Each structure stands twice: as structure tokens, then as C-alpha cells.
Amino acid sequence: MLRLRRHLRAPVVRCLLGAVACASSAVGSGQDRWADVRVVGPFLCRSEFRLDQVPGVLADLGRLEMDLAGALGLKPAGQTIHVFFFRGQKSYRSYLKQFFPGVPYRRALFLKRNGVGMVFAYRSTQLGVDVRHECTHALLHATLPVVPLWLDEGLAEYFEAPPLERAFGSPHLASVRWMARLGIIPKLEKLEAIGNLDGMGPSEYRNAWAWVHFMLHGPAEARQSLWEFLADLEASTPPGYLSARLRWRLPDLKRQFANHFKRWKR
């Protein structure tokens, strides 16, 4: 169920690129409705409920930018990202209907309009996951002029977990390890060829997460390839394919990938 909902939520990021909406209206109006407004790192949070009721969510948000910087070598966002917390689904839905009437309903979303990054989520048992996932997209898009789709989603899948669960606690890990034992290695080139979110199903999200995990926790050469790729994106230098970089540094890439997951234990 979680995977399905995750899959359903993600296409919004791209769907919104075509939506007609006024970012400044959404950000600036209706100040009276917010019970709590506070700044956490680069995030300006507005909430219909007091955010100290969800202290873990706020604490994770406060360190998310540093977590990305540490893992990916990215510079700080350098801009404010607006995060809107709603008390429930009804309130969330009505707000989006008012400011983004053309947007299909999703559980949480990130969008960027007129250079303004915005994240919307409502209170539920999945609030933390939703906010970390969408805010990861927001941070990436605040720093990088473009992010390959599979990498965008793979990183969001990785960072949506609470910090202490990212390395070992992902729900993707068991199936990826099981496949590695059977010698099934997801093809990175296949992910790189996906041009829109219609091509991203649950297995593509899992595989994108797996390649991100390999690059962050596997051989140093893999991490180096990722950092250089992101640095080129940041500098607007055509980066080519990450798969080609990985193969150049790790000629036995498949074996390295399989060994990483076969041996990955606490």
C-alpha cells in the first residue's frame, strides 16, 4: 500500500510543471489561518497546528539540508523553501483547490513556481515521510538547475527515511538484497532512459533507491562518481550518464553492486 501511494504521489512533481498557479498568492495570502510560523534551516514553515506537536518531523527537517550536503557535497539551498502543514486532508485539499485548481489530488507534493519552492503536506501517520521526501526534492531543485528523474526520486526515497533508518531501515532493502543474492542487478541505463514519471512504477522507485544506496554506502569510487556528477549539474556542465562514469571507475560494477547488498548488514 505504501509503495502504491508513494508512486501516486510522485507524478505530481512533474504534473505541476504544467499547472497554472500563482506562487506568490499561495505563499502570501491567508496569513490568519496559520497557527504556527517558524523558520527551520532554509524552510519557512506555516502550519495550521502547533508544530511542537510533531517535534520529530521538525527536527529532521532542521538537519535535512546538512544531511544532503554531507552525503552529496551540495551547497546550501541559498533560498527560502515554503512548507505548508495542514491539520488534515480536508483542509489540505481545499487549499490546493483554491490556489492550484488544475492539480490532481495527491497526498503531498512539491512544486516550484516563479523560482519559489513550495511543499504541501497534511497531518497523518506518514507526515514525516511525506515532508522529508518532498523537501528533498525542494532542496535538490533549489541547488541544481536540473536533476535526472530517476536520481531525483532515488534520493527522495533515500532521504525520506528518518536519519537513523536511512542506511539500514529502508523497506526497499530486503528485496534488493534478495535480488542481489539471485544475481539480479537493476539496470541503471534503463532508469536513465525514463523520460517522465509515467515510466516510474514501484520497482523503478526501488531500483533508483538501490543505486543511490550503493553510491552512498558502497565503494568510494561510486560515491566519487556521484559527487562529480552532481558538481557538473550544479555548474551546468553537461554531465553525460552517471552509469558511464560508474563503469569507468568500477569496471566490475555489477559484481560490486551485488557484493554491496549481499554484505550490507548492521
Binding positions for Zn ion, rule: CB under 5 A: 10, 153, 156
What's the CA gap between 213 and 167, in Å, rounded? Answer: 8
**φ/ψ (deg, to 5) at 197:** -70, -15
Interatomic CA distance for residues 2 and 5, integer angstroms: 5
75 and 69 Cβ atoms separated by less than 8 Å: yes
CB of 53 vs Zn ion, minimal distance in Å? 25
Quote the distance between the C-alpha of residue 5 and its chain's center. Answer: 15
Minimum distance from residue 156 beta carbon to Zn ion (Å): 4
Nearer to Zn ion, 65 or 153 (CB): 153
Shortest CB 12 distance to Zn ion, Å: 8
Strand-pair partners of 113: 116
In degrees, rounded to 5, the angle at the alpha carbon of residue 33 between the alpha carbons of residues 30 and 37 is: 95
d(CA 56, CA 22): 31
Place of cell 553510491: 215
Identify which of residues 10 and 242 has a Cβ nearer to Zn ion in the complex.
Answer: 10
Q: What string of DSSP letters covers 114-134?
A: TTEEEEEEE-STTHHHHHHHH
111 vs 173, beta carbon nearer Zn ion: 111
Among residues 139 and 180, whose Cβ is nearest to Zn ion? Answer: 139
CB of 10 to Zn ion, least distance (A): 4
Minimum distance, C-beta of residue 263 to Zn ion, in the bound complex (Å): 29
**Nearer residue to Zn ion within complex by CB, 109 or 173:** 109
- Give the type of residue at 159: F
Residue 178 φ then ψ, to 5° = -60, -45
Specify the pairing of strand 81-86 against strand 108-113. Answer: unpaired
Residue 110 forms beta bridges with which residues?
119
CB of 207 to Zn ion, least distance (A): 14
**Nearest residue to Zn ion, by Cβ distance, number only:** 10
For Zn ion, which is the closer residue by CB, 149 or 250? 149
- H/E segment holding residue 255: helix 253-263
- Shortest Cβ 166–Zn ion spacing (Å): 16
Query: Is the CB of 161 or the CB of 258 nearer to Zn ion?
Result: 161
